[in-house]
Chains A and B, each alone.
Chain A
């Protein structure tokens, strides 16, 4: 296999790992808990900026052409861990005012506004994360430590990306298969009934928001350590919709659906459009990408709302004291989903 093919394949594998992590985080928020987090990309960006800043060193270094707060030379994987902490803290702050006392549709609007504000601040506060130019020349992790060749680094980082994705999958699965996961789904289905049964719905939503935010930040940190640059153009609010599209296509509420959705949409579908020859005026194919993503979402919501891998029915072991009185099995079809569910 030629080097160029290996480069391309490993790059795809890294993107796959990053997108799986992001989709798992959003699945916990949206698929399990019903939080329509239109600011999801902000947390991925926070992770990317954090990892970049604690890897680049002081802003006075590298010729001082980049201006940003902080700066350190932390070895891998500390930047990833720092990103998770920052992502979680940011989610806590935003969640405390954005999620309380608001109906779900208003929460979605507030979070969309948060996304718009975040990109505006990042673009204009040039001393924060170097403004619209963003951060570049982020050192690649482990490459000098282990004297890796460029291709060697590609393979190592692909392995790291997919390993972290597997770890995140196990973490999220532990949550979704627990009583907490069941309670989050109950909150999604009927928050008023959940409250009437003693559930602190605001606190439960915040938990899912914070954990999902931390996971999103991890995906951003891994991404920036690989592509070595990050700017506001990388995280426009529309990028959140790509992840939503991935969940809708793959199957919201199902962790395997999140994985499949990540492979199909941000990786498979968007990557496939690279091979479409340019036609019409410059940038037309890139613009059409967004139209097709939107159409994909609409088509799935109309005809296949539960996605490729629908949320599965949980089964519980027989009771020790009293065997379940099984009658003929009920049909395995979930009730109709309401739009946006």
Chain B
């Protein structure tokens, strides 16, 4: 059926895309086209194609909707994949997401009364339908998805696929149906074969992500050179409301999705996992070694005698996963840490892991600006790092206050352990990708280990 396995064009196209993970020599091993969404001679003929690849030895599965045209189109050349022959006819094939007419076909299954072909399901949550012929526009490039705005809907086409239900769709559907105000509601999804191919959410036109919102505050702080509480750009009110939104989402997830309680054996296993990750990082990154003993001691302080309530959590919680809208904070992207395997991403864990992620994010955002710009104060007596630390402390406390965090010894020990685990991971990431930023998590790791020891 498909010629892409014998010919280089599709592999070459994939290798040029930002959402494609492989950096090495890529070969397309299998292409499984789904049913036509429009007749191949209707210009464009459109269908989803599930593309299996090998990058070096690494296998991957990608969602590549293609549009087939009988004449070449100059204006679509950015998304041109190659020419191919189907049923004795030549077709010019384009990435359907870069072809406006093809995008309309991809979305047409969400119109009221549409009858998509067998094997492809367009799920619509109550109240959602697209108007026929609604204007659509492609959003800029993203790491792992391609997003399209159609009316008030944001349609996110997953590019890298895992079999089964995408955790983002699963969690957001449950939260949306329960009426959660603290997420951006799910409107629908596209499922084909064994895969979730796309999800539809409300397009939050008025939103800015939490990372940019917090950076505006840090910028104002640096200019004022005062304690965070006195700064015009104080963020503590926002941090507190974000804490409250996080609690509301965690509570809903606990009510709607699986939960469990960890006893001594599971807690031992957790500590073993934390130590295992630490060992792996220390082996590859000697810069962490001097803090390893302190980190292990902090992990050991987790109290095995007290049961730990675990549940589905966000799993990759940081300021970039939040949106500040005119109707308050919204938490987004429940797919977990994308680099981890699916079973780990949907595994149960303590919600304190999410809190630790956000506490680390406050530290990151405050210190990222000096990391980018260097010291700017004209007054040598101003200690910018100390002012940033003060901002971090104030907003971490406000966030935990908004969450209603219980500051018992057991909870604090667990939170510290998760923070240290996160900081260790961050050091490894920065050493590999952004050595200039390594100082941020390293400095935090040192302080966290010291705090855990009560120093």
A interacts with B: no
Please report A residues at the B interface, Cβ cutoff 8 Å: none
Show the binding face of B for A, using Cβ within 8 Å.
none
